[in-house]
Amino acid sequence: MTGVLTGIKRKAGIAYRLVVGRLPDRVSRWLRPPSRRFSPADVPPPVTAPSGEARLYVAPANFAAQGYRWARSAERLPGVGAVNMQYRTRGDFGFPADYSVPEIVFTSSGDWGRRQRDAVAERFTHVLIEAERHLFGLAFQGFVEREAIWLRDRGLAVGLASLGTDLRLPSRHAQVDKWSPFRDADQDWIRALEARALKNRQLFARLDAPTFVATPELLLDWPAASWLPIVVDPAEWKAEREALSGGTPVVLHAPTNPAVKGTALIEPIVNRLSDEKVVDYQRIVKVPANEMPGRYSDADIVLDQFTLGIYATTSIEAMAAGRLVIAHLHDQVRDHIQQVSGREVPVVEATPDTLEEVLRDVAERPEAYRPIANAGPAFVEAVHNGELSARVLAPFLGRTP
């Protein structure tokens, strides 16, 4: 019965989006519930075109500013101009974006969706779709595959970029890591993630487009993809004070998603060590992006994730700041980075079983770990400053690095 009701609601939602999406906003506003109404002044004009023979549109997620950073990476290539787009939510972290639209406009304005769709088709040559999310609001009732096909029919090249849970199969991950968050978690949550990943795999197969993944671990879910490194601006994160240079080590943990970071597994350990004055533990939540460099500068150690086996934006920013990063990384991830870049990832390995031992050792022998922290900025400069990402994007954009 629940499945039947879900199906009815889904069909009703599609029908609503179909009707509202085809009507002018001045008419459809009367069909929208009060919570979905907006002012015409909230609707931005369509995106403008960058200069260049190849003009790339990156949209619509911009998680951790990656859409914006990948656009800047693409512009390192000769003859390429790029624009990233994101829809802004109420809980937005304030990441930079070339073009943004309020979420309520993105999801409720048929006028905006149609105008943006036509502008992209007319003004760009390439589109990189982030996290398999739809680009044009109500213009295609939220169906990203229809958008991709429509853009291709008008001569645009379309690529897909996966960022994590959109493609990672919980069933696969649970088999390879005893600390996988998909082993003992809520089954409804796991089934929903599995269904979404399977659906996106089918989309990858049907579109047969150039595909990219933000972390090497996702290559196990889609081997045909290319690893597109996460990008940060190293200068933005530079810290003057050397890590582990004296006093009780300050340990920072900033979990954007505690369920997949393993926060519940490690926090009792770190809180106990903090009570013993071995470390000074600080957990931060929903800090604006522009305040994070200062937070890293004040820390000595950054704890990233302990369940997924990857390193991502948090680790990269902390390494750029010269902080000692501790996380759980799979050998597959370390080996892939070594193979591609010739560099070892300067992240100290720990699991929930070994974290206490590692932290106590760091507190007792900071001089042994300081070189690892100091290796972070050079690693980020070599692997995550955008140059390598530009080389990965070059074939898709028809450019030579």
Mean pLDDT computed over 274-296: 92
According to CATH, the topology of domain 2-227 is Rossmann fold (3.40.50)
Residue 244: name the closest of 346, 354, 324, 327 by CA.
324
Bridge partners, 372 (sequence order): none
Predicted confidence (pLDDT) at residue 17 exceeds the cutoff of 80:
no
Q: Region 36-65: what's the mean pLDDT?
A: 93
Task: Tell me the residue type at 19.
Answer: V
Tell me the per-residue pLDDT of 304-360, one tens digit each, with 9 for 90 and over: 999 999 998 999 999 999 999 999 999 999 999 999 999 999 999 999 999 999 999
What pLDDT score does 401 carry? 81
What is the 3 state secondary structure string of the chain? Answer: CHHHHHHHHHHHHHHHHHHHHHCCHHHHCCCCCHHHCCCHHHCCCCCCCCCCCEEEEEECCCHHHHHHHHHHHHCCCCCEEEEEEEEECCCCCCCCCCEEEEHHHHHHCHHHHHHHHHHHHHHCCEEEEECCCCCCHHHHCCCHHHHHHHHHHCCCEEEEEECCCCCCCHHHHHHHCCCCCCCCCCHHHHHHHHHHHHHHHHHHHHHCCCEEECCHHHHHCCCCCEECCCCCCHHHHCCCCCCCCCCCCEEEECCCCHHHHCHHHHHHHHHHHHHCCCCEEEECCCCCHHHHHHHHHHCCEEECCCCCECCCHHHHHHHHCCCEEEECECHHHHHHHHHHHCCCCCEEECCCCCHHHHHHHHHHCHHHHHHHHHCHHHHHHHHCCCHHHHHHHHHHHCCCC
What's this model's pTM, rounded to 2 decimal places?
A: 0.91
Query: pLDDT tens-digit profile of 127-174?
Result: 999 999 999 999 998 999 999 999 999 999 999 999 999 999 999 999
Which band of pLDDT confidence, cut at 50, 70 and 90, is reported for residue 16? Answer: low
Encoded tokens for 259: 């369920």
Second-level CATH architecture of 238-383: 3-Layer(aba) Sandwich (3.40)
pLDDT at 357: 98
Is the Cβ–Cβ distance between 32 and 138 less than 8 Å?
no
| Dist. CA 43–CA 57, nearest whole Å | 19
Same-fold call for 2-227 versus 238-383: yes
Both tokens of 77, joined, read 């290539």
Looking at the predicted structure, is the pLDDT value of residue 35 above 70? yes
Task: Give the domain ranges of the chain.
Answer: 2-227, 238-383
Encode pLDDT of 193-215 as tens digits: 999 999 999 999 999 999 999 99
pLDDT at 30: 63
Interaxial angle between packed helices 355-364 and 366-374, expressed in degrees from 0 to 180 and rounded to the nearest 10:
100
What pLDDT, on a 0 to 100 scale, did the predictor assign at position 10?
61
Give the pLDDT band of residue 11 (cuts 50, 70, 90).
low
